[in-house]
């Protein structure tokens, strides 16, 4: 039996716990997710290093999964635009059962290997695309079909699973096993298995964006301000990066459409925003490269 399906020997009287003990048990169990991700750091790093050249060459991040794993893929894909100004069309997720499965479980969809291949191929993957295939069990037919289809067209495949020695990690070019073991509620991989997958997706996509110069120091300098909170954040980030006062930072941002990168280079280099934009283009979007030019 898969580790994620094996009933836990701990907390056998879970349903009898007083509420504070019940909540503490759930919280403590989540620590295993962090430990599993930490143990997988070398594999995650190898996957990131393999993915970056593909994405630099114009590839997309394509997420494939079923159930909780698939929904986590959707979540990661939609968060990249506001955080890093990453184009929607370059972060695309497919979910077993289709879009409606995001909001309501579509039972049985994950068992269709051929549909996984069809859904992946419908995205017209290329050699520069990076496919992130997720399955807690590591055996989901839908995900395995997508991996096979992706490999046949030469796309890079990264398989993420929560059981050692399973096909999703083995059949992908880069396998990441998050050995979270059994769940506090037997088989409910929306718990720590899901948490570990969320951490890994955050880590992979964020690390790629750092390598693509979407971050200066640890500052989110390529965000897309789409609401009042984010517009205020662009001002704070520009002030922090340059030491400028609020009025000066805001003026520079207004001149460049609230593009933090451009404002930072313009203020630190004491150039116009047009010149700052040109310097960033020459430096392939790197704030450090533009400042050192």
Tell me, yes or no, if 110 is annotated catalytic: yes
Q: What is the pLDDT of residue 117?
A: 97
Q: What is the pLDDT of residue 106?
A: 84
- The C-alpha angle 77, 83, 86, rounded to 5 degrees, equals 60
User: Per-residue pLDDT tens for 23-48?
Assistant: 999 999 999 999 999 999 999 999 99
Q: What is the pLDDT of residue 120?
A: 98
- In percent, how much of the chain has pLDDT > 70? 100
- By DSSP bridging, strand 219-220 and strand 215-216 are antiparallel
Q: Which of 110, 124, 152, 183 is catalytic?
A: 110
Q: What is the pLDDT of residue 35?
A: 98
Does the pLDDT at position 62 exceed 90? yes
Does the pLDDT at position 166 exceed 90? yes
Residue 286 pLDDT grade (very low, low, confident, very high; cuts 50, 70, 90): very high
The upper half-sphere exposure of residue 183, i.e. CA atoms within 13 Å in the direction of its Cβ, equals 19
Q: What sign does the dihedral 118-120-126-132 (CA atoms) show?
A: negative
Tell me, yes or no, if 5 is annotated catalytic: no
Q: What is the pLDDT of residue 105?
A: 84
**Mean of the per-residue pLDDT values of the chain:** 96
Range in 96-110, 160-174, 212-226 the model is least confident about: 96-110
Q: What is the pLDDT of residue 290?
A: 97
Determine the angle formed by the axes of helices 246-255 and 260-269, rounding to 10 degrees: 120
- The helix (H) or strand (E) run that includes residue 174 is strand 174-177
Q: Which of 5, 79, 171, 173 is catalytic?
A: 79
CB 169 within 8 A of CB 176: yes
Q: What is the pLDDT of residue 228?
A: 95
Going from the N-terminus, what domains does the chain have, and what CATH number goes with each? Answer: 3-211 (3.40.50.10490), 216-291 (1.10.8.1080)
Give whole-number Cα distances, 78 to 83, 84, 105, 107, 135, in Å. 9, 11, 20, 24, 19
User: Per-residue pLDDT tens for 72-116?
Assistant: 999 999 999 999 999 999 999 999 999 999 998 887 899 999 999
């Amino acid at each position: 039996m898969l580790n994620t399906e094996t009933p836990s020997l701990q907390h056998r009287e879970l349903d009898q716990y007083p509420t504070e003990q019940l909540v503490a048990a759930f919280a403590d169990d989540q620590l295993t997710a962090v430990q599993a991700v930490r143990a997988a750091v070398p594999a995650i790093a190898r996957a990131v290093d393999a993915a970056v050249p593909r994405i630099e060459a114009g590839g997309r991040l394509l997420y494939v999964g079923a159930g909780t794993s698939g929904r986590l893929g959707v979540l990661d894909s939609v968060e990249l635009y506001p955080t890093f100004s990453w184009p929607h069309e370059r972060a695309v997720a497919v979910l077993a059962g289709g879009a409606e499965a995001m909001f309501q479980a579509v039972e049985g969809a994950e068992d269709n290997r051929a549909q996984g291949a069809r859904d992946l191929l419908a995205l017209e993957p290329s050699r520069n695309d990076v496919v992130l295939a997720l399955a807690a069990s590591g055996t989901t037919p839908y995900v395995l079909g997508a991996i096979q289809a992706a490999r046949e067209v030469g796309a890079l495949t990264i398989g993420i699973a929560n059981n050692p020695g399973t096909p999703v990690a083995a059949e992908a070019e880069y396998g990441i096993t998050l050995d979270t073991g059994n769940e506090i509620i037997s088989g409910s991989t929306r718990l720590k298995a899901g948490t570990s997958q969320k951490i890994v997706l955050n880590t992979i996509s964020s690390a790629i964006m750092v390598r693509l110069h979407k971050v200066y120091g640890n500052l989110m300098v390529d965000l897309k301000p789409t609401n009042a909170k984010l517009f205020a954040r662009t001002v704070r980030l520009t002030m922090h990066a340059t030491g400028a006062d609020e009025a000066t930072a805001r003026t520079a941002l207004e001149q460049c459409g609230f593009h933090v990168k451009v404002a930072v280079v313009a203020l630190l280099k004491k150039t116009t925003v047009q010149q700052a934009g040109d310097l960033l283009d020459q430096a392939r979007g790197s704030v450090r490269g533009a400042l050192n030019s």
